[in-house]
Every structure is written in structure tokens, then in C-alpha cells.
Chain A
């Protein structure tokens, strides 16, 4: 056991999804010493789009062009939603800071301030989001201007059908055409988004793909394709392909495995340590020992035989919901998996889900989660914070339905920032 490990850090973040990564970033940006434990594997399920707020109230399915106006309405109607504790400045600040980090890491994001942006998906639907990868933005511009577009699908890439998109959009975007072609160098069989994306980081691959696309252009003013334009070097790959084709190219998000999600993962994994975050990825916290005022001691385990003990003055749980294993549903009730904190939840399993999967009111179980005080400290059954120096952020929080409200990333980023701010004050002794 090294000295480095036994000296307590200011903050340990448990969880390596969106909220965990953001919390680690915000903490280290504010001069805290930070360690982070978790699994970042699930982030490849993320589409790469960063939602703020798209739908409210979900019962009517009302879509909002202005997410800030939506937020005002939501705060009035849902005073227990985590956003109700946050101001527009808080949320905007979180997006700005996180996107600045991503830009520095080679992943520029595009925001139309004050507006949600509709992004074309591989199903031919449009998803309203707030911050989108710059590699997807030319598609937004093309559609807004009604430009002729070529959608390119790759032979052997499942779940992405250019004819399906063109057919879905025949009425609203008739200038779309479809083409399907083999990925250069792939002789036969299935192709994989990550492999193609990495291959595209080679200049020769870009030229080969451009050559394959060129015969199909036929006056198209922009070209859409699956999200395979490089991983860490996506800015350069997209620019090079655009140059080679002499027109903008744009990525279209699809089913996992998602390369834009992978980009987020790699950006965090590579650049957070450079800022001083100590990362313990693909590892789990197996024991938590509260040490009163002094903080917490954690036992961390990962690869077989690897165990370490960490200590911190404060702890932030960004452990996610069921997929992230921050919550676990037994047959009768839902438990919080780290500290067995009380979980706000429907009375029994019969109330968890509606009879109709797409019921517009959403499923009550999605509102289950951890309740906190205004400083994002989880509450004990007494209704007071369970620990003075324990914080929670992200989708584990109660009283929100991120999948229906389309507020997942905003929730993660903004509550992570608020929790980190509160944590700083707590460490300084200035939290009441």
C-alpha cells in the first residue's frame, strides 16, 4: 500500500458515466484533489448527444424549441425535479465547462444557444437535443436549408439502413437519397463501428471512402453517414473527408455500439488524468467505511487479485440507475447498492411500470431514486443528510425521468457541478 493511496484525497467520485466524469472534471478544475472509481464501459451506449430538456410535460409529449423556457415550466410543475434546485446559469455553466473540456480533448461540440436542435437518427426520426458533436452539425444545417443529401449506409453494418431513412423522410425531406456501399478494405461479412472509425484515422482510408462515395454523389450537397469518422481524431477525419468530397459530411447516431459514446469515454480516460484526476477504471468499490468528520475509507477491487484502499474527505456517488448498478431492483423493492440509502419508490412492483410500454405518462419506476437536500446530499430515513460529506449526482436522483424528458446529460452535468460546489463549501466548512 503506497503512501499516495493512503493519503486522503479531497473527493472520491464513484461512477464513471456522464455525471461521474463531469464531477471529477469540475472538482479538479476547482483545485480539489480527486480520485475516481468506476466502470466506463456503459458509456458506449450513449449516443454522444447531450440533452438539456426536450419534452415537458411528458404526458402531452410537448416538444420545446427553447429548453430554458421548458426548464421554467418544469420548475413550476415539478418542484421536486433536480432542475428545480438549479438556475439557468448553473445549468448553462455546467454545459459550458464540460464542452470546453471536450473541445480541448479534440471533441468539439456545437450548441445553438437558447435552442434545442433536431438531429437526424438512423431510424429516420429526429431527436431534439442541446449540445451535439460537431461532426453531426452539418446534417442539421443541411436539413434546415432543405439541401439535397446523400445518406450512405455501409454494407455489413447492422441496424443502419439508408433506404429506411430516405423512406421515413420522403415527405419531410424529399431531397434525401440513399446509397449502400462496402467499407473500403472490408471484403465481406460484418463490420464494426469502432473498427471502421479507427481505420478512418488513416489518410488512405479517407481517400478510399471518398472514392467509394463519389460515384453516388449526383448533385448531393452534403453526405450523411454512420458515426465512423475517427475516434479521438474525429475533427480532422471529418474535415479531411469533407475536403475530399468537396462538400460537408455529417454523422448520424444509431444503435450501440456508439462511436460518439466511445469518444466521450476516451476523452475522459485520457484527459482527466492529465488534469490530475486519479482514475481507477473497471473497478468497483466493495466497502465503504464512514469515518465521521474525517470522511470515508473505501476498499476498491478490480482485476482478480487487485485491491486497494482509498481514503477521502468527501464522497460523491454518481453510480447511475439499474444499468449503472447504482440501483438494484429486487422482486419487491429497489435498493441503493453502495450504502443502502433509502430509495424513493412506488409502493410495490405493480406500480413500477404502466401497461403500455409507450404510455405517454412514462413509468413511475423511472422517478425512483435517491432524494437529497438542496446541497445534493442523500437523505437518510430521518429526512436529514445521511452524511455531512456525502453527495450524489446524475441519474440516480429521484423525481426525474431522463429518458422521456430528454434531460439526461443536463441532469448529469448540472447536478454534478452543483454537488461539487457544495462539496467545496463543505470542505471549507462554509456549508451550513
Chain B
């Protein structure tokens, strides 16, 4: 049984946990971060990639709107490498609520969200994919953010500052003392070994799993789950973020994601976290609704769908989860007799830094640490393997380097062997498992039009040649990769995506017999 000691144990390897690890280590506080799966496995790896201007919340959730506006400006300075400052539009089409449209500018102004009205012709010139039936258009400072790059940059910097990061490590219980927690009991999911971590302070940053973690400490947090499903287009459709100007409903937002566009989303109540998958009716609903705003969506090829779970804190079963505040919740469990546990949950990717700051402030106060937060001014350390998560980088670097021996393993996204080498090193530093899925999580491999059908085989062969995959693991790893991608493929299998899938099944089942 391994026993570790640290100042702060952070439970959760998403944006909040990673941001907190960086914040605390910049303040000189030693911490250990544990995550039951791979880094960014929850909502941080399944969101819209939208850095909200806040305009979406000005009518119903002004607190969240103001937070987004302020944080957006900060992140554009300190996380510039993860952000494409695309700008955004809010557009209404014939039949949309004209009162909502009329009230929009004043609500934005009240919340400090910059908002500029546009002539309809001007909006359609800026974004030709917009419907001809526009009735209103406004410009706002939305931006696109790469959540994988963001989370991995936070993790890598925390690592370099001395944080211990342990993915595939799951909390199984806590040892309680008189006035709080003495230790967390964990299991290493790779080896099965048990682990104990003693810490002065414990932070539950487990996102949608925060209620489960709190329950292990004997505490209750009401947390309904709201699933949001999204779609990835084959090609980028618009320069800017395009939002529907109406009270929040399905399929309101189309966000650029480098070389593709991300369309979403839905809000479906889930009873169990395990049920999180994009469904065919959801996907069809999204396309039908969004086509009113961008007609080309009706004929676009989608290469993948995905879904994430929003942790909604404090909801006492409202009728519509969209009415629950998108603000975050920082809960100090001292009020419940547990002095050294805090839970930070709710919130949005856009406000992750603020959530981490508030949590770090509270934890430092409890520790008697006086150091101030620096994350609002100190830029994230860029470079390193996390750059491979950004679309378009791999082709540029590979073409520049002109190294004929550096073969492309993923041809759709042009990711070469050298990138894989760097990513494998990063995975080892992050103590995660070296397999195709982990490499896919940290790069563009498998995210192009073939969705991994061919690159999985090339990647497995390369890893075997380099001795990085255990004996006989090639077929098993490919199988696990294909099975894990399927959730996202199944709802979009029509047109050319079905052609691609037929080829994939012909190869992997017809020839290789992976199903047998």
C-alpha cells in the first residue's frame, strides 16, 4: 500500500482541477492531483469550445454573463495560445421572439458585454452561411477556445512547478478525523494497487462526479445531470461564432474549432452519468433547429457527435435545466463539520480560471498561506506536447521540417511520427497510459474525416515498432479505440460518413476479424 502526503489533494483532472493545480503551485503550495480516468475526461473534453462573451446569459443569468465577460478578457491575454479570437454574432430569424431581440442590447449593456448592432446585409457579408431570413444581427466578443490544449497546458505547467499528477487513480473512500478528513483512499486503475493520500486540505473538483466524491465523505450535494450533445462538421463553416438570438434553446450555437465547426447543443436530463451519449433524435433535432439559422447545415457532412454532462448545482428539480444558473458553486464543507474539504463545481469552461482562483483563495486561507493569485496576469507556459492538440499545427510544422523519414501516421490531420514521440513522452510525464486513446486525446489523430479507421492501425504498428505497446496489445488497443469512438460515430452515419464507416467495418471486421 502506497502512502503519500501532500498539502492539498485535488480530486479531478478537468479544467477546474488543472487550473487549481497551476494556481496553487504558482503560489508555492505543494499539491497532488488525482483523476480517475485520463486528463480532461469529463465536460472539459466534451464541451463547445466556446469562450463566452456572456451575451447568451444577459437576459436570464446576469451574474454568469458578467463573469464570462470579465474572464473572457483575462483569458484572451493569459491563454492566448489556446484561443482563436474569432468574434461572434447573435442573429435572429423570421419567427423568433422580437421582444427578446429588442431587449438584447440593453441587457448586454447592463452586464458589461460589448454588443454592436449590424445591418442584415453586413452580417451576411461577414458570414455568407447565414440564412436569408435574418431579422436582426449583433456583433459580440465571443471567441473559440481549445479545451484540450487549455487543460494540458495547465497540467504541464503544474507538473513543471512540482505538482504530482496521477491519472487513472480513483477515490474509493476517505478516512475521517474528528473535524475533517485525514486521508483519501484511492485505487490505481492501471495496477489495481491501493493508495492512501494524507493532506491538509482536500478539494473536490470532480465536475459532474462531485456528488459521488462528496458522498464518499458522507456529504450530500444535490446535483442533477444535464447532458448536452454536439456535432462536428467536416469543414469549418464560419469565421465567427454564430449564436441564435433567442431565449436559450437547442442548437443555438455554431462555434469554429480550428478546421471544423462545432454545432450544439441540447439539454437532456440524465439519471445516470453512464448514460451520457449523443442520441440520434438529439442529433436530428439539432440539425433541424440550427438549419433555420445556417441553412447549409441541412446538407453538411458531420464526422462525429459527442456529449458531455453539465453539473448543475443547487437545482431543486426545475422544469427546465436551462433555467439553472450557469454560475459556479464553491462549497466549504466546514459548515457540515468537515473543516478541510471544499467542493468546487458547476460553472463553465469560460470561468475555469476564476473558479480555480476562488478555490485557491479559500484553501490558502485555511492553510495560512498569504501568496496572492497570479493566474489573471501570468500567461500559461506554452510549447510542449500540448501544442499538438491545436488543429492545423501538425501540417504546418511537418511541411516546414521537410523530414522525409518523419512519416505521417494520421493522414487526414497530417500528424507525423515525431509528434507522436513527443506526445508519448508527455503521457509518461503525466503518468497516464500510453495507448491510442490517450494519444488521440492529446492530438488531432483520429479527429479527421476517417475518424481513426486507418490511423489507429498505423499508430499501433508504430507503437509496436518502438516497443511502446505491450506484447500482443496491438489488436486489443485498436479494438478499444474503435469501440470508444463508436459512441460519437453512430448518430452521424449517413451520407459520406456512412461510406467511411462501411470501409472501416470492412477493414476491421471483414479483414482483421476484430469482432471475433
A263 at the interface (CB under 8 A from B): no
Chain B contact-residue range equals: 35 or more
Chain B nearest CB from A403 CB (Å) reads 4
Residue in chain A with minimal CB distance to B457: A159
Partner of B478, one of A123, A163, A190: A123
B475 at the interface (CB under 8 A from A): yes
A243 to B170, CA, bound (A): 59
Judging by beta carbons under 8 Å apart, are A329 and B474 in contact? Answer: no
A167 at the interface (CB under 8 A from B): yes
A159 to B409, CA, bound (A): 9
Interface size on A, residues (CB 8 A): 59
Chain A nearest CB from B333 CB (Å) reads 38
A374 at the interface (CB under 8 A from B): no
Given the complex, which residues of B lie within 8 Å of A294, measured CB to CB?
A: none
A158 at the interface (CB under 8 A from B): yes
Given the complex, which residues of B lie within 8 Å of A358, measured CB to CB?
A: 479, 482-483, 509, 514-515
Instruction: Contacts A168-B472, A253-B511, A402-B510 given; indicate if A322 touches B498 (C-beta within 8 A).
Output: yes
Partner of B513, one of A125, A167, A188: A125
Given the complex, which residues of A lie within 8 Å of B506, measured CB to CB?
A: 45, 323, 403
Judging by beta carbons under 8 Å apart, are B495 and A330 in contact? Answer: yes
Given the complex, which residues of B lie within 8 Å of A366, measured CB to CB?
A: 505
Chain B nearest CB from A410 CB (Å) reads 13
- CB-contacts of A274-331 with B (<8 A): 321-323, 325, 328-331
A128 to B407, CA, bound (A): 32
Judging by beta carbons under 8 Å apart, are B505 and A356 in contact? Answer: no
Judging by beta carbons under 8 Å apart, are A164 and B465 in contact? Answer: yes
- CB-contacts of B78-132 with A (<8 A): none
A328 to B462, CA, bound (A): 35
Given the complex, which residues of B lie within 8 Å of A355, measured CB to CB?
A: 277, 486-487, 490
Chain A nearest CB from B231 CB (Å) reads 12
Given the complex, which residues of B lie within 8 Å of A256, measured CB to CB?
A: 454, 507
B296 at the interface (CB under 8 A from A): no
A156 at the interface (CB under 8 A from B): yes
A375 at the interface (CB under 8 A from B): no
Judging by beta carbons under 8 Å apart, are A61 and B511 in contact? Answer: no
A28 to B161, CA, bound (A): 76
Chain B nearest CB from A65 CB (Å) reads 14
A185 to B65, CA, bound (A): 64
B458 at the interface (CB under 8 A from A): yes
Partner of B494, one of A156, A255, A325, A349: A349
B471 at the interface (CB under 8 A from A): yes
B383 at the interface (CB under 8 A from A): no
Partner of A167, one of B472, B512, B515: B472
Judging by beta carbons under 8 Å apart, are B494 and A331 in contact? Answer: yes
A-B pairs with beta carbons under 8 A, tally = 153
- CB-contacts of B468-516 with A (<8 A): 469-475, 478-479, 482-483, 485-487, 489-490, 493-495, 498-499, 502-503, 505-507, 509-516
Instruction: Contacts A161-B462, A323-B499 given; indicate if A124 touches B472 (C-beta within 8 A).
Output: yes
B365 at the interface (CB under 8 A from A): no
B220 at the interface (CB under 8 A from A): no
A330 to B457, CA, bound (A): 29
Partner of A255, one of B457, B482, B485, B502: B457
Dominant SS at the A interface? loop
Judging by beta carbons under 8 Å apart, are B498 and A161 in contact? Answer: no
Judging by beta carbons under 8 Å apart, are B405 and A189 in contact? Answer: yes
Instruction: Contacts A123-B478, A253-B511, A406-B510 given; indicate if A161 touches B516 (C-beta within 8 A).
Output: no
User: Residue-by-residue, is B401-430 near A (CB-CB < 8 Å gives 1, otherwise 0)?
Assistant: 000110111000000000000000000000
Judging by beta carbons under 8 Å apart, are A350 and B281 in contact? Answer: yes
Partner of B474, one of A123, A128, A359: A123
Given the complex, which residues of B lie within 8 Å of A167, measured CB to CB?
A: 464, 470-474
- CB-contacts of A39-75 with B (<8 A): 45, 47, 49, 55, 61, 63
A329 to B479, CA, bound (A): 26
Residue in chain B with minimal CB distance to A402: B510
B284 at the interface (CB under 8 A from A): yes
Given the complex, which residues of B lie within 8 Å of A406, measured CB to CB?
A: 510, 513
Instruction: Contacts A170-B472, A255-B507 given; indicate if A357 touches B494 (C-beta within 8 A).
Output: no
B-side residues, CB < 8 A to A, are: 277, 280-281, 284, 287, 404-405, 407-409, 454, 457-458, 460-462, 464-465, 467, 469-475, 478-479, 482-483, 485-487, 489-490, 493-495, 498-499, 502-503, 505-507, 509-516
A168-B472, A349-B494 given; 6 more Cβ-contact pairs under 8 Å: A124-B474, A124-B475, A158-B458, A255-B458, A358-B509, A363-B505
Nearest 8 pairs between A and B by C-beta? A189-B404, A164-B464, A161-B461, A357-B486, A167-B471, A358-B515, A403-B510, A329-B494
A-side residues, CB < 8 A to B, are: 45, 47, 49, 55, 61, 63, 121-128, 153, 156, 158-161, 163-164, 167-168, 170-171, 180, 188-190, 253, 255-256, 321-323, 325, 328-331, 349-350, 352-353, 355-360, 363, 365-366, 402-404, 406, 408
